[in-house]
Structures are given as structure tokens and as C-alpha cells.
Amino acid sequence: MKSSDIKFVVQEKYGNIVKGSSCCAGDSCCGGNEYNMSSDEYSNIEGYDPDADFGLGCGIPVSFAGIKAGDSVLDLGSGAGNDCFISREIVGESGEVTGLDITEVMVAKARSICNKKGFTNLRFVKGDIEEMPLPDQKYDVVLSNCVLNLVPDKQKAFKEIFRVLKSGGHFCISDVVTIGQLPEEMRSDAELYVGCIAGAEMYDTYIQMIKNTGFENIIIHKKNKIDLPESVVNRYLSKEERGSFLSSEKGIFSITVSGFKPK
């Protein structure tokens, strides 16, 4: 698929989620091609707003991000603002939070919730992670939750993260990666880009991209194998392939990783 096609699919599907005509909470909904990867629970975290949570994450990066009062925070693929509202609780009145998302209706939803809360140091911007409409060296911390795997050019995305971070700043990202080669049918199914499977990069390649960008002190906070529903495995693998796939170390993993921009 062309980059523009992938981005169109992502915007269309996430737009439908906001409108209530799609879901990502099971292996049988949405034609069986979307799957919620995360079992992490946000509800007990201070600042959490259930109206901003569509269950689209694969971790809780804000819990590992080391955000401090007064920080300037950027959340990439911010959706309805889930991680942004939690971050805003941490940075307080002296800090600021920006959410960036490519889907217009997601940005509108986040702004609506923000306006109801009356926050003046939290804003939501429509934009592409590969070409952020944001200034250089602006942010102390960059967050992202199960979004970079949807970006066609991940190396370009990491370069943009490097650009907008202050010297000494850092990112904390939860994302989906693969270990071992997934069947081509899984990777080529456009619908799975929204289900956080087909767009996943190989783990070693993902970490190498971070290093190639110039980030230092890379920390893997969490790395959990994702058990795919039987219906998903059966759809793309023969009986012989299923046994090999399930018994091996290869598969799909959620990771939470940080990296620091040199001072």
C-alpha cells in the first residue's frame, strides 16, 4: 500500500470509531479485523477521563514517562486525549500539554472534552507525525500509545520526535512490534493497520531506528507477548503453520520504550 492509502484507512477507521460505527474491543467486531491489544488499566490513574478513552492503546506510556510539574509534553496520535488529560494532571498549571492527531474528528472530540474541563494549557492540533506542524526543541517529553506502528515511515517519525524534543528531553512510547516474520497475508491486509498488527515493525529494526536517530540511554520498560484470538490466527495460517507459530518465540509484542536526546 502507498503511504497516502495507509493514512486514509487510518483516518477513516478512527473517525468511524468516534462516530460509533466501528469498534476495536474484540476479535469478532468490525468484520473480525480489529483487535484491542491492551489489557492495561487506566481507570485508577489521576486525571483519567473515560470519555477520552476508546481502548485503543497497547500500554500506559505516561506511567513510565517521568513527567514532572512544569514540563511541556507532546502526545502523538493523541486521539480523544486520554494520555493528554493524565499528563496535564501531572504537569499542573505551570506546564503545558499538546496532543497531535491526523484524524479530524478525533481532534474535535478531544477539544470538546478539553473545553468542558476549562483547561487553558492543553491544546489539540491536527497534523501528520511524519511532518509535525510544531516548532523545534519545544518539548521535555514526547508520548505515544500504539500509534507509530500505524505510521508508514517510522524512521521519519523518530526524526521528527528528535527535532521537537529539547536537548536532554526524552520520549516514552508504547507500541506494537513483531519478533520473527509474520505471514505476508497479515501484513498486507489494510484493515489490520487499524488493529495494530500489520503495521508493526520488527523489534530489532524498531530499536535500531531509535538508535540511528541519535537517541541515547534507551530503556525497555515492558515487553509483553500478545496472544492473538484463535479466529485471527486461523484466518491467516494453515494448521501446520499455526502449531509452529504458537509454539515459537516469534509473534506480536507490546513494548514500552524510552530514549533520550543528548544534551
Q: Residue 226's pLDDT is what?
A: 82
CATH code of the domain in which 167 resides? 3.40.50.150
CB contact at 8 A, 257 and 154:
no
- Each residue's pLDDT tens digit, 148-157: 988 989 999 9
Tally of domains in the chain: 1
> Which residues of the chain are modeled with pLDDT < 70?
1-11, 13-19, 21-40, 186-198
* pLDDT of the residue at 180: 85
CA distance 169 to 174: 17
What is the reported pTM? 0.85
Q: What pLDDT is stored for residue 88 in this prediction?
A: 97
91 vs 93: CA distance, rounded Å: 7
pLDDT of residue 221: 98
> What is the pLDDT, as a whole number, of residue 23?
43
Identify the CA nearest to 115 among candidates 49, 21, 62, 42: 49
Residue-number span of the structural domain to which 43 is assigned: 3-260
